[in-house]
Every structure is written in structure tokens, then in C-alpha cells.
Structure 1
């Protein structure tokens, strides 16, 4: 039996989930492939014949990242495949992120066999976690991941219906609100302060190839707000324009090292 786990991650939470699923399946002598969504050619349809297919991604501004939505639009699978989504969030729930991908897959006649959610520490620099709070969230997240991994390995079914028009309208309104909030906070205006030493870690961990190095990082216009650059900067020199950097604690999942997040 073959499993393909497609994931998008900025701070390693999604990669940790994918690695946890893989570890359990390898123990059963099953073949598993971990595939970063951002490394795929999304200009054409993507066909998979895997028996088990997982889509693992974060919740950004109450919905799925745009690149994950584009991936879902391009995905084509066998009608016999066990397909699951696994959305994780930093708070407020991942319902919108789940529904957005389920609906896109449904439009492609792909039946999502089960959906999963887990709360992790947020990638957003707006949240200030104490060490105790961080430990508490991670401890609870691990319980959730282990429970969900068991269901994925056993291919437990819990088919989620396609959203109705009211839910879709509500999600559209939340998207408008999120866009306004993003513009107000200027999340996509990321800049380096004088602490930057040009190490290029930010460029290497950016899944969107949105950062070019010219002494200091130069940011283009393809940001997904994953904040991998901010959270993985060794000098803590990066931040978005209206970010209060005082007492900022960068976050990366403790079971993921920075090299695992480097694409270049």
C-alpha cells in the first residue's frame, strides 16, 4: 500500500504531523512519501494513484493558504483512494480551512474520506506565549496528533458533506474581513533591521521563493504569511511593518529542525 502526504508548512507543525503519520505507517512496512506542496508544478493537473492521500496544511486568517487551494484544484485521484485533510491552527478552530479544501476537492469529484484538526502554537508574531503556555499547547497537540494518526493509519471514514450556500457565503465574508485585517496590520510588508547579517536562512526557508538576497533580504510579492522567515531568523532581525518586536519569541516545532524547512 502506498501513501502520499502533501504538506505546506512555515514553522514545522505540518511537517511534524506528516512525519508522525509516516513513522506509524513505516512500522507497518508501508511505503510513504512526504511531498512539500510548494515544490510542485501547479500549472498543470497532478495525478495520484496512491491508496492513501493526505493534505496537511495550516490555517491562515480563517482559511487555507492560497497555494494549498491551488493544489486542491489541480489534484486528481483514484475513486478508490482514501483521501484525508488535516488542518491545524493556532486558535479559533480550523473549520474554515477544512471546508475550503473539502469543497474544492468535491468540485473535482474527490470524496474526502475524513478530516482532522489539531491546535498548535500559532505562527503569528501577534501571540506572545510564555514557556508554560507553549509547553501546554504542545503537550495537548501531541495527544491530538497521536489520536488522529491512529485513525489515518486505520483509514477510519467520516465523510464530510460539501458546504451549503450559507456556509460558503459566510466563508467569503470571513475572507473579506481577513483581507482587511491583513492590510491593516501589513503582514506582507516584512523588513529586516540592523541586526541582519545576510546569512540567507530566511531565503532558504521561504516556501514561496519570495526572498532574494542582496546583502540583506529583498521581499517580492508572493508571500503566503507563513512567517517562516521571521520565526527562523537566527538574528531575530525580521518582522512585519507594524509588528511589536519587544519580547518576541520565535517558534518552530521542537521536532523539526531548520534544515528540514530549507528548500534551497
Structure 2
């Protein structure tokens, strides 16, 4: 608990410092509006600034493991060659299996609008990919790297160290004010992804596989197709009006959960045979 509080405190301090930097650059005029745009990733720079705030998560975990546990980030991530290999597998599985099934179901989706400036999208793409790499890595470090490993060391019961981080991961994405009646569908989909990531981390012995899945999933949801109405500042394809209707979103979220289970089964099969 002390470790989580320390991570949260460092992350909050990083957010404050980011806000101060924005205030110093822009002044008080429009400061509140800028923060609102950053919180929703409403434009390319706002989205990249939002993703950069997750550096505070990396810093918080690094401080916590050094001060409280006398070990380094490698003990949470795993050996670099294994992390890189598993990360590549996770990205590949999500693109080949998830992307393939998504393309197959594309005719069933409502019409989407392409960004009016694809050239601008390409210019910001490298920074956005780096930002998503930082953001997904920070979340994996906190929930699967730190919290899961500490619970496993303390209790040794899979029902605790697999389920608790997954539920907390789901609640971390719980936003009833923005998501409306779909909030519990989003919670279920996010918690399921957390459970899949936790299981793959346990089975593989490193964070690379879960990180790769998480990275590829967020690239698709943030940079390729944005249908939830948030974090759409750099999406190549967007829902008309910013978000799909809740009646359309619910079956998409259910289909996404089925898709993640299929991707998980493919990854488990690879782990078993390697």
C-alpha cells in the first residue's frame, strides 16, 4: 500500500509540474481550456502531452522499488531480450489476429470519417507511437509489474494476484460522466484485458507480452479508429460527431472482449509450444 501511495504521489506531482510548465508557457489566459483539451486529447499536441504525463508512472515505480524494495525496474520488466521478443509477439498477435478479425467485421460497423489532414497525422505519428509506448508501459509496470508481483509475493494465491490488479485496472478506466450507460461495458472489457495481461505475465515471466498487446490495442483505439469520443485528436478514422451511439457501442465492446479472448488463446498456445 505504501508503494502504491508513493507511485500515485509521484505521478500526481509530475502532473502538477506539467501543469505549471503549461501555465508558464501560455499564461493564465486559456490555461483552463488547455487543460481541458489535454484531458480529452482533443488535438495532436494535447494528446501527446497527455501521453507524456505517464512518465510520472515510470518515475513513481522506479522510486518505489528502489526506496522500498531495494531492487530495480528490471526485476519488474524481465530480461531485455525476452521483453523485446515477447513485446514483438504481442504486437504481432494483436495486429494479425485482432486486426484481421476487425477488418472482416468492418462492413458491420457504421460509417466512419477519415481525418481531413492525413499528412498531419503522419507527421505526428512517431511522437504518438512513442507516447503510447510510454503510457502502456507505465500501466503495465504499475498493474502487472509492481502490484501483481507484490501480491504474488505476499499471498501466493492466483485468485488474489491475478484478479485484484485486473479489477483495479478496470476501475482506473471507470468514468461514468463521460461513458454514460456504457461505463460497465467499458469496465468489463478493461478488466478482462487486465486479467488476460496478468495471466500472460504470469505464464511468460516478463512484461513484454502484455505490454505488446496493450501497445497494439491502444494504437488501434487511439491512432487508427476512435469511436468512444475521447482521445481522438490523432485518430485516422473517427465516428461522425465524435462518438458512436451507446446502442452501437455496446455490441462493439462485447465483440472486442471475444476478440481479446481469441488473441489470448493464441498467445497461450505460443507460450506452451516455445
| TM-score by shorter chain over 0.5 | no
| TM value normalised by structure 2 | 0.23
Q: Which has the higher contact order (CA 8 A, sep 6+)?
A: 2
Structure with the bigger percentage of strand: 1
Structure with the bigger percentage of helix: 2
